[in-house]
Amino acid sequence: MDIPQRISRIREIAYNIWFSWQPETHQLFSLMDRQLWEEINHNPVKFLLYLYPKRLDEAAHNSVFLELYDHLVEKYDRYLHKKTWYQRQAPSPGLLVAYFSAELGIHESLPVYGGGLGVLAGDHCKSCENLGIPLVGVSILYKNGYFTQKIDHEGRQKAAYPETNFNEIPISVCRNQDGTPLILPVPIKESIIYVQVWCQIIGRTHIYLLDTDIPLNNPDDRKITKQLYGGNRDIRIAQEIVLGIGGVRALRKLGITPSVWHINEGHVAFLILERIREKIKEGASLQSALHEVKARTLFTTHTAVPAGHDLFPKDFVLSNLGQMVVQFAISCEAFLALGWDHEHQSFSMTQLAMKNAVRTNGVSKLHGEVSRKILNNDEITWITNGVHLPTWIAPEMSSLFAQYLGWDWMEDYTNQHRWKKIKLIPDQLLWQTHQTLKKKMISYVRYNLYQRLKRNLAPPSVILESLNKLNPETFTIGFARRFATYKRADLLLKDPDRLARLLNNPKQPVNIIFAGKAHPADHPGQEIIKRIWHLSQEKQFQGRIILAENYDIHLARYLLQGVDLWLNTPRRPMEACGTSGQKAALNGVINCSVPDGWWPEAFNGKNGFTIGGDQDFPNECIQDQEDERSLFHLLEQEIIPCYYNQKDHVPEQWICHMKENLISIPHYFNSERMVQDYYKKLYLPAFRGYN
């Protein structure tokens, strides 16, 4: 990368994930080569590698570019040097949180996340960084990441695992003082594997990513970090050993000394074992090692489904962790007891984490209650998830808010009071902004759809019909999430005739856009995709039911900024929190949800719509029927008439809901409030308790 001196700091910005939530970086890179910027998935490092060098020289002499560049660099420096929220708190010298997560959804150019858990982890790190809460992240650098999805001509999901070239993404190899790559040994079974460490920078915060794909390892071990959630049980435990044990060792080797250890979901709980081993090696008894480790360990559970917890058979654990057992110098029974699950007669990563953490928390109020039940532990607390507002807000909305909430509103978005000024925005203007985002979303979805139909050799008439009904005047519902069966993407599809009447009402037409991946091993999930696909082919649903492929951060952003209604239909109480509705809400998009996850905490009667009540049902079948009935009723009687009650193309009542939504939801359901809660309720007490 030969970059002209005048714009040399563009490289530094390309390597700092801070770029990802600056609208100006998108403008800057688009100015050089818009098409390339889109093609390479907004990855600035790859962009600079592939750009014609001539374009860089031109940019360095272009006054428009230079003005934007100078502005961005200044903003960057200001950001890095400003006094943070954390610096304004009472000082806690020595506080450093190690945040371990098996997936991290930071940006579309780093496909090392599967869905909500990863995106949440990414937002957690970003908000700690924004507030200055001292944190290091640890995760895995998956060579082939999570799969990309294509839908074929019969509605089947085709999964592919494209390889990521690590030299083309914003990370760099960690090195020893002599310049050689930092590599550390990790014990597995009877042998040793070697782990290389990479670093990703978010502002001032460092994320360390572990990678076994190096020549020191044999070909099988190189594949340990190949796919996220892709392998068999052997690979799964190997990944968890690399992450938990290797992660602690990496931090030690880097000279980093965390004082609080945060386990983000059970996958990473082996970090407990490595820390116990360290203490025993220093001469502590097992008892005191357990005690000391526990005092500084926190565990967040994200699962509301008992089957979602990692379980391993006894002998399997002993053979994989045999070297640990020897170093602990305890019996196999005592070792297994650290994470034994009596109910399932297995070693459970959730139990390992819960038994050895000073606090365990769920991720919404309701999920806290559910976790207390399913994990049989009355002490579980909860902190409701939130989303990183600067990542998820559309720049158009953000500029509009700046006019009415004050130019510095982004510095202060947890302030409920300021959001009341949303009332001052003229309806017309809020609506125009929403419609602009809706048009952008539609052209992106059209492109997505066109690519698929063309690839699958659909007849031109079908292509036209499908693309043409996507229209900014039409009420548009978004349903985008993993196609896990409990999310019930098919809730509306069980009565196709009623649905057809609903969607094709000539005065009040409706479109529904679906998107999502089903895990390649989740066959019922893939059947739902097929079902949606099949319906979307029927004459009555062409262009009314739309299936967009390859749901990722990029597609998510378009959808949840541009639809009118964000639909959420999990089978209560299986959604631990859900975060996509929070992202939609901060863009003025209305939520329509069953009272599960975060929604019961947010719903106030005016800021969205709730499907059904919070009663328990005798069985799933009745629950599904009741929820289906409520949802149809709500759409037919309330939601759609409200939207189409328009004066001069402006739906006044609908806009009331939008404003109420903006006033009551984003100030709280954001990750800045969330990490402040973690800091006050968990990080600080764990840190102080030990001292």
Ligand X SMILES: *Cc1c(COP(=O)(O)O)cnc(C)c1O
The residue ranges that bind ligand X (CB under 6 A) are 115-116, 119, 481, 551-553, 556, 578-581, 583
Instruction: State residue 342 phi and psi, 5-degree precision.
Output: -65, -40
Q: What angle do CA 613, 618, 623 make, to 5 degrees?
A: 45
Residue 145 Cβ, how far from ligand X at the closest point, in Å? Answer: 13
Dist. CA 325–CA 90, nearest whole Å: 42
Three-class secondary structure of residue 663 per DSSP:
helix
Report the relative pairing of strands 340-341 and 346-348 from DSSP bridges.
antiparallel
Instruction: Quote the least distance from Cβ 157 to ligand X, whole Å.
Output: 16
Comparing CB distances to ligand X, the nearer of 419 and 551 is 551
Write down the least CB distance from residue 593 to ligand X, Å: 9
Tokens encoding 473 = 């005047």
Give the shortest CB-559-to-ligand X separation in angstroms. 9
Nearer to ligand X, 274 or 575 (CB): 575
The residue among 469 and 557 lying less far from ligand X, judged by its C-beta, is: 557
Q: Residues with Cβ < 8 Å from 438, sequence gap 6 or more? A: 472, 476, 562, 563, 564
Residue whose CB is less far from ligand X, 86 or 558: 558
Give, for 620, the enclosing helix (H) or strand (E). helix 620-633
Residue 623 beta carbon to ligand X: minimum distance, rounded to whole angstroms: 19
475 φ/ψ angles, rounded to the nearest 5 degrees: -60, 125
Q: Nearest approach, Cβ of 552 to ligand X (angstroms)?
A: 5
C-beta of 392 vs 475, nearer to ligand X? 392
Sequence-distant (6+) residues with CB within 8 A of 285 are: none
- DSSP strand E in 497-571: where? 510-515, 545-548, 565-568
Q: Of the candidates 338, 258, 326, 332, which has an alpha carbon nearest to the alpha carbon of residue 290?
A: 338
Helix (H, G, I), strand (E, B) or coil at 382: strand
What the block records as the tokens of 321 is 């962790």
Q: Are 47 and 29 in contact, with CB atoms under 8 Å apart?
A: yes
Token output for 658: 């939008």
Report the nearest approach of ligand X to the CB of residue 516 (Å).
Answer: 8
Smaller CB distance to ligand X: residue 194 or 486?
486
Nearest to 632 by CA among 492, 481, 478: 492
Q: Shortest approach of ligand X to residue 640 CB, angstroms?
A: 23
What minimum distance in Å lies between the beta carbon of 602 and ligand X?
Answer: 13
CA distance 533 to 519: 17
User: What DSSP string runs through 48-116?
Assistant: HHHS-HHHHHHHHT-HHHHHHHHHHHHHHHHHHHSPPTGGGSPP-TT--EEEEES-----TTS----SH
Which residue in the block uniquely carries the two structure tokens 């978005």? 413
Which tokens go with 316? 């399997």
Nearest to 396 by CA among 441, 448, 446: 441
Per-residue buried b or exposed e for 277-299, using 16+ beta carbons within 10 Å of the residue's own CB: bbbbeeebebeebbeebbebbbb
To ligand X, the closest distance from the beta carbon of 202 in angstroms equals 17
Closest among 184, 198, 186, 28 to 112, alpha carbons compared: 198
How many Cα neighbours within 13 Å face the side chain of 149? 23
